Structure 1
Amino acid sequence: MTRKIFGTDGVRGRANVHPMTASNIVQLATAVGRYFGQDQKRHRVVIGKDTRRSCYMLENALTAGFTSAGMDVFALGPMPTPAVGRLTHSMRADIGVMISASHNPHYDNGIKFFGPDGYKLSDGAEAAIENLMDTEIEPVDAVGIGRVTQLSDAASRYVEYVKTTLADRVRLNGLKVVLDCANGAAYKAAPQVLWELGAEVIPIGVNPNGYNINDGCGSTAPDRAAIAVLENKADVGICLDGDADRISIIDETGAVADGDQIMALLATDWARQGRLNNNMLVATVMSNLGLERHLNRHGVGLQRTPVGDRYVVQAMRAGGYNMGGEQSGHIVMTDYSTTGDGLVAGLQFLAQLRESGRKASELCNQFEPVPQLLKSINITRGTAPLEMPAVQAVIADGNARLKDKGRLLIRKSGTEPLIRVMGESEDEGLLTGVIQQIVTEIEAVTFKPQPLSAIG
């Protein structure tokens, strides 16, 4: 079934442009309220947000739609995405909502939905909600209109829970940590957690103004944090993204480790402890081949999924696995959270740093990555260059040239108007030639070619 507004991770787009307009979000919230509130019980929804200016508009639109459908709204304020998932379940809410476009710039925004179990909605639930949006939904009568409550202790609930994910024996005293919160949702909670656990915290990206979220900071722009690590002679740097569901680690030399290296460290450690369910890690098709080889050497399997942490979580739940994630830095540990939690993953890394006595640079280099080249091409929204015969032909030729020497993955982004072109091969010259040929052909058939941007 063709999706009308839902994408890889909820609803996302340019703020105040369809589908992220106030009127459309009122309609969406009304449909969600009707989907989850079809009986006569009193229903509740929790709403969190990051620090974008447009979050205020969207929060009010969601509140109007939910209350018109008879749902009571609990407003959490700025809150990491994983906190919303957790509070949805712990507060016995019927639905949780996070207003965020994650790592995107301030002018984008999005809405992620969680079901009563704290997990993101299934494709089937999203399809049913889209169908309801096409119908005339009768609002509740005046007596049944929902009420709104500002939950003042939401952040402290999350802070205290996150601290419990670190073993009691582990304290962070003596560790100097640069913490980049991307001027996003964790700008208060994350520094508080690390400080209360004993670390010396050097915070950056903790002064949001509505427009500077992810702007030259956070997990997708770690250069500023890397400089801070070197200048302050810190033991490690932790970079979160705008909604704090992903992480990157910076070692004491200023080098950046992605999600693959973090998963390699944590998965093999949990396997040694007998904590890794079925000795299996779940990751996406984007994870490096070097990760798979490293895991296999340690007796750990790797199950791959399509791109998107929701698909990782679905596979984890289906197989009974308790660790998964993405190269981009989503690390999901269902022992602790229903979705990626950058702060929890950061604490697990710090525990390794503290207990092993090794440097961050040693922990961050678990395996030698197979050379990987990833480029993205801006396309006009609504265009489909991957369906063009000329593009399909050049992709087929690239696969034939690589054969057993590597692999290709070409896909349309589910959250941005981009085509992602990724390849891996030990033969870097061959890899570069294949990728460039594909990129050139996609640009040739795209209506408005834009400059390439490499995404690492």
Structure 2
Amino acid sequence: MARLFGTDGVRGKANELLTPELAMRLSQAASVVLGLSQSEDGRRPVAVVAKDPRISGDFLSAAIEAGLAASGVDVKDAGTLPTPAAAFLVGDLGADFGVMISASHNAAPDNGIKFLARGGKKLDDALEDAIEACLQMDPPRPTGGAVGRVSRFADAEDRYIIHLLQTLPNRLDGLKVVLDCAHGAASGCSPEVFNAAGAEVIVIGAEPDGVNINDGYGSTHLEQLQAAVLANHADLGIAHDGDADRCLAVDHEGNVVDGDQIMAIMALALKDQGKLKDDTLVATVMSNLGLTLAMEANGITVTQTGVGDRYVLESMNANGYSLGGEQSGHVIFADHATTGDGVLTGLQLAARVRATGKSLKELAAVLTVLPQVLINVRGVDKAAAPECEPLQLAISESEERLGSTGRVLLRPSGTEPVVRVMVEAATQEQAQAEAELLATKVSEYLAL
């Protein structure tokens, strides 16, 4: 049987794979692993529950809160908030764990359930496996006064906004910023916090209706943001995804500034401030080779992990590193957050622009991005990719042709039913050709 938990929680089409029955069972199992087994002095454990604005979040949150309360857990319903806000609130409240209902950058029909351990930290594999094992057991069934209560967390967003403002090294007065909230969870709090920080704010993609999340807006659809930055003569644009744990940016000329470039800018900023622990940045194997070269030129070491911000976090936590992230825009500031935070990242990036007096384009020029092509191959058996000998041979042959000027990364996605083929090369043409060749091989050797 395939593992239920993927790279980032349990994710799938709502009411198909991710049913209210499964949501309730997962919450009951989590109540044992994360709550009842860790509660002290016999007190009732407490869980924070939040969601993004997609329509299925209503029935999934109802099922989850019912399962938690029926298991003897008190629930703090934080309503619609970004994933990093939920993580912050778990720590801020001293809650035993948290539940975030979101499928991040996926379309509205999908949804997901992410559990957060005490302190707002993502779960390691062992805890996820323990929750999955508990699905086969009878859930706790307290009665009378031993059941949990569900209460609305009235100041959840305010607490998060105050926290974000306290992280700023300087105000944003004089900056004109366009915010694209992806019709997602940051539609309320991101504009509010940028305004409070002093920026002149133009907002797009901030009218969630339950089904328009990530639809033509946000970090996976930057065209609207690029157009708005140019039309409004803004200094920069910031794009979140549906649950706002990502941030991508656009400079004043409409050029995209990706997660690698943001990490390079912020690594130099923290180094200048003496806050970059061991002068080290943590990135995944998906980050552009140009990031490593740029950081080396500035006396910064890049440590690589597997794909997924949870693995970046594991490395950061194990070694005390202060900055890490992914090319996709998950950027983690360990001094301020336990997970990737798109609103926090956007604020810090804008603050760097304001503090230096340089444009975002100038700051991003520290990194020369090598041509990179990513192809998602669908309709294949992604689990078979690592053990497919003909495919591994094709990868080796491609690496030989690229030599020291490029690299190949082929991996099954942890969040989607695809195999990702990524190729970097000295030229765009070579990267495209090698990626297309390998994608064809994936389709041929792994066809369902």
Q: Which runs of 5+ in 1 are unaligned?
A: 449-456
Query: Over residues 131-176 of structure 1, what are the superposed CA-to-partner deviations in whole Å (9 max), with x where a residue is unaligned?
Result: 1111222411233111100111111111111111112xx2222211
What is the match of residue 443 of structure 1?
443
**After TM superposition, what 4+ stretches of structure 1 lie above 4 angstroms from structure 2?**
380-383
**Residue of 153, 156, 170 corresponding to 2:155:** 153
Deviation of the 1:307 alpha carbon: 0.5
Query: Over residues 297-329 of structure 1, what are the superposed CA-to-partner deviations in whole Å (9 max), with x where a residue is unaligned?
Result: 111000000000011011001111010000000
**Contact 1:3/1:127, CA 8 A, preserved across alignment:** no
What is the match of residue 226 of structure 1?
226
Structure 2 residue matching 1:408: 3-state secondary structure: strand
What is the match of residue 239 of structure 2?
239
What is the match of residue 87 of structure 2?
85
- The answer to whether structure 1 residue 25 and structure 2 residue 23 are counterparts is yes
**Contact 2:51/2:81, CA 8 A, preserved across alignment:** yes
Aligned pair count reads: 444
Which residue identity does 2:249 align to in structure 1? Answer: I
What is the match of residue 359 of structure 2?
359
Structure 2 residue matching 1:369: 3-state secondary structure: coil
TM-score of the aligned structures, taking structure 2 as reference length: 0.96
Q: Structure 1's 88 and 375: CA in aligned 2 closer, same or farther, altered over 3 A? A: same
Deviation of the 1:266 alpha carbon: 0.7
CA RMSD of aligned residues (A): 1.5
Which residue identity does 1:336 align to in structure 2? Answer: H
Distance in 1 (CA, whole Å) between partners of 2:208 and 2:380 is 31
Which residue identity does 1:415 align to in structure 2? Answer: T
**Residue of 46, 49, 72 corresponding to 2:48:** 46
Q: Structure 1's 3 and 443: CA in aligned 2 closer, same or farther, altered over 3 A? A: closer
Alignment of 1:330-341 (within 5 A): 330-341=330-341
Deviation of the 1:113 alpha carbon: 1.1
Which residue identity does 2:22 align to in structure 1? Answer: N
Distance in 2 (CA, whole Å) between partners of 1:389 and 1:258 is 34
Query: Over residues 405-424 of structure 1, what are the superposed CA-to-partner deviations in whole Å (9 max), with x where a residue is unaligned?
Result: 32110001000011100011
Structure 1 residue matching 2:178: 3-state secondary structure: strand
What is the match of residue 34 of structure 1?
32
Deviation of the 1:25 alpha carbon: 1.0
**Contact 1:248/1:258, CA 8 A, preserved across alignment:** yes
Q: Structure 1's 356 and 128: CA in aligned 2 closer, same or farther, altered over 3 A? A: same
Q: Which runs of 5+ in 2 are unaligned?
A: none
What is the match of residue 176 of structure 2?
176
What is the match of residue 286 of structure 1?
286
Distance in 2 (CA, whole Å) between partners of 1:140 and 1:148 is 15
Distance in 2 (CA, whole Å) between partners of 1:262 and 1:143 is 50
Deviation of the 1:362 alpha carbon: 1.0
Deviation of the 1:386 alpha carbon: 4.9
Alignment of 1:18-167 (within 5 A): 18=17, 20-35=18-33, 36-38=35-37, 40-167=42-169
Distance in 2 (CA, whole Å) between partners of 1:240 and 1:198 is 20
What is the match of residue 390 of structure 1?
390
What is the match of residue 451 of structure 1?
none
Q: Structure 1's 298 and 423: CA in aligned 2 closer, same or farther, altered over 3 A? A: same
Structure 1 residue matching 2:122: 3-state secondary structure: coil
Which residue identity does 2:53 align to in structure 1? Answer: T
Distance in 2 (CA, whole Å) between partners of 1:193 and 1:29 is 32
What is the match of residue 454 of structure 1?
none
Distance in 2 (CA, whole Å) between partners of 1:93 and 1:363 is 39
Deviation of the 1:349 alpha carbon: 1.1
What is the match of residue 308 of structure 2?
308
Comparing 283-292 and 352-361, the one that deviates more: 352-361
The percentage of aligned residue pairs carrying the same residue is: 44
Query: Over residues 383-419 of structure 1, what are the superposed CA-to-partner deviations in whole Å (9 max), with x where a residue is unaligned?
Result: 6355434323322322232232321100010000111
Structure 2 residue matching 1:281: 3-state secondary structure: strand
Q: Structure 1's 307 and 432: CA in aligned 2 closer, same or farther, altered over 3 A? A: same
Query: Over residues 195-229 of structure 1, what are the superposed CA-to-partner deviations in whole Å (9 max), with x where a residue is unaligned?
Result: 11221111011100000000000011111011011
Comparing 371-380 and 156-165, the one that deviates more: 371-380
**Contact 1:379/1:419, CA 8 A, preserved across alignment:** no
Comparing 350-359 and 427-436, the one that deviates more: 427-436
**Contact 1:374/1:420, CA 8 A, preserved across alignment:** yes
Query: Over residues 341-394 of structure 1, what are the superposed CA-to-partner deviations in whole Å (9 max), with x where a residue is unaligned?
Result: 111111111111111111222122221111111111112577635543432332
Which residue identity does 1:436 align to in structure 2? Answer: E
Query: Over residues 239-298 of structure 1, what are the superposed CA-to-partner deviations in whole Å (9 max), with x where a residue is unaligned?
Result: 111111110111110111000001101101211221100110000000111110111111
Which residue identity does 1:214 align to in structure 2? Answer: N
**Contact 2:380/2:419, CA 8 A, preserved across alignment:** no
**Contact 2:28/2:140, CA 8 A, preserved across alignment:** no
Structure 2 residue matching 1:384: 3-state secondary structure: helix
Q: Structure 1's 346 and 414: CA in aligned 2 closer, same or farther, altered over 3 A? A: same
**Contact 1:237/1:249, CA 8 A, preserved across alignment:** yes
Which residue identity does 2:12 align to in structure 1? Answer: G
Which residue identity does 1:15 align to in structure 2? Answer: A
What is the match of residue 258 of structure 2?
258
Structure 1 residue matching 2:12: 3-state secondary structure: strand
Distance in 1 (CA, whole Å) between partners of 2:15 and 2:191 is 32
**Contact 2:381/2:447, CA 8 A, preserved across alignment:** no
Structure 1 residue matching 2:314: 3-state secondary structure: helix
What is the match of residue 8 of structure 1?
7
What is the match of residue 194 of structure 2?
194
What is the match of residue 325 of structure 1?
325
Query: Over residues 41-70 of structure 1, what are the superposed CA-to-partner deviations in whole Å (9 max), with x where a residue is unaligned?
Result: 211100011010000011011011101110
Distance in 2 (CA, whole Å) between partners of 1:399 and 1:204 is 42
Q: Structure 1's 174 and 399: CA in aligned 2 closer, same or farther, altered over 3 A? A: same
Deviation of the 1:3 alpha carbon: 5.5
Distance in 2 (CA, whole Å) between partners of 1:350 and 1:300 is 22
Query: Over residues 72-120 of structure 1, what are the superposed CA-to-partner deviations in whole Å (9 max), with x where a residue is unaligned?
Result: 0010011011111111011111111111111110111111111112111
Structure 2 residue matching 1:226: 3-state secondary structure: helix
Distance in 1 (CA, whole Å) between partners of 2:293 and 2:389 is 35
